Structure formats: C-alpha cells, structure tokens
Amino acid sequence: MPHVNMLDVGGLRAGYDKLEVLHDVDLRVGEGRLLAVIGANGAGKTTLLRAVSGLIRPTAGRVVLDGRELTGLPPERIAAAGLAHVPENRLVFPSLSVADNLALGGWTRRRTGKGAARRSYILELFPRLAGRLKQPAGTLSGGEQQMVAIGRGLMAEPAVLVLDEPSLGLAPRLVGEIFAALGQLKAEHRLAIVLVEQNARAAFRVADEVVVLDRGRVVTTGTPEDLAADDRVHAAYLGGGYPTAPT
C-alpha cells in the first residue's frame, strides 16, 4: 500500500557543538502511520527529534514535511509549517492553567477562530483534563501533564506529531490511555506520528513500523512483528534474553 510521506528525513547529521550524535539518519512516515523509534539511553533519540523540529540545527541532510523542505528553519517556523513536537519531560507551562497551556498550543493558528472546536476534540480525547481546565498545569500528575503536553501539540492542528517518551514515569493505566489516544489520532485524523520510546513493548503494540537507533545510526527497520521475531532486538529491547534478577 503506497503512502504519501508526510515526514521525510534523509541523511540527517546533528549534534552539540563539535560532538556529532546523529550520523546519517533516514526515516519516513506516511499519513495515518505511526513510526516507533526505539534505542538505548544516549542512542540519540531526543537529538533526532530536536533536529527534526529545529531546536538544534542539522549539520547535513534534510527534513521535508509534506513536500516542503524545512531543514535549518527555527522551531517556530517548523511548528507553523505543521509539525508538533511533544518534548521529553513534557515541559508544560507550570504556572499557566491547563486551558492556557492548550490555548498557547494553538499560537500558530490563533487567527483561525477554530480554537474552541480543537479544544473540545482534545477534551474528548483526554476526558481527565476536562475537569481541570482552570488548574495550574504544574500541579497536575505526571500522566495528566503528558496529556496537556500532547493536547498542546494538537492545538496547532499538526500534520506530523512527534513525541519523546510520553510513557516515561507513568503508571501502566495512563500509558494505556495515552497510547490509545495516539491510535485514535492516526486512525481518525490521518496524523503521521513519530513515537520515541524506551517502553518498546507498549510502542510495538501501536506502531506500524519500528526503527532501532543505536549510537546515532538506524540499525534495523521493520514492522513490529518482524522486529519482535528478531532475536537481537528481542533480547535488547523487549527484555526476552536477559534475566531480570539473579535467581
């Protein structure tokens, strides 16, 4: 089945000062597809998303969103072009209310007059937030803050949503709710999603495709089924090969 590539990243190199972290990374995500990126701590997953959303400037390669080249633009321009980055550690605006966090998520679309409709959609997606609109976002639980961060990203009506470890530190039930929402977004809204996760098991359940990142390179690509059947991937990321505790 052919897909329109909403996000097309090719030959991407990026890093910090003189340290190159990403070496020649390629990835593509189609409309209505979810790509999971897994990899060990320090593999460069966060750096990849930062380079895609413009928080750091790639030193080589390209970032193309729906046919439009965005490489090297600042994050505010990339956001306006239709890419929402839900960052590691959520980074909600703590003293601002949930409603204000969402309203600011719609900053690039503030003149469209459709903010109210988008907000009600987000509150249907995350009903937990509905009763907490006036609460300062910093006082919410971690899972609720993650929902605010995702909702804030969605307020911009993005074509591509990239998320950095949304399950980090959350109870399994909330992880389930959040991943179910991601499934709904790609099915109902044809959103292209890049999901960076350490929780490979959870990610495999919602992903259409998986890439494994190791020390700044893509080492394996495939469907979740393919990768789950790969002994090395299984051992390293799905916990199959290692005893969890000495017996």
What residues line the site for ligand ATP (CB under 6 A)? 16, 19, 21, 39, 41-47, 198
Contacts of residue 175, defined as CB under 8 A and 6 or more positions apart, other chains included, come to 166, 167, 199, 202
**Please, which residue, 19 or 116, has the CB nearer to ligand ATP?**
19
Q: Which tokens belong to 72?
A: 């090297």
**CA geometry: angle 182, 188, 192, nearest 5 deg:** 55
Shortest distance in whole angstroms from residue 239 CB to another protein: 32
d(CA 162, CA 147): 14
**Spatial CA neighbour of 135 closest among 91, 101, 90, 174:** 101
Of another protein, Mg ion, ligand ATP, none, which one sits near residue 135, judging by CB under 5 to 8 A according to partner kind? none
Of ligand ATP, another protein, Mg ion, none, which one sits near residue 186, judging by CB under 5 to 8 A according to partner kind? none
Shortest distance in whole angstroms from residue 155 CB to another protein: 8
Of ligand ATP, Mg ion, another protein, none, which one sits near residue 76, judging by CB under 5 to 8 A according to partner kind? another protein
Fill in the per-residue mask, 22 to 51: x = in contact with Mg ion (CB under 5 A), - = not in contact: ------------------------x-----
Shortest distance in whole angstroms from residue 49 CB to Mg ion: 8
Is residue 58 part of the contact set for another protein (CB under 8 A)? no
* Backbone region of residue 91 per phi and psi (left: phi > 0; alpha: psi in -120 to 50; beta: other values): left
CB 157 within 8 A of CB 118: yes
Residues in contact with Mg ion by the rule CB under 5 A: 46, 88
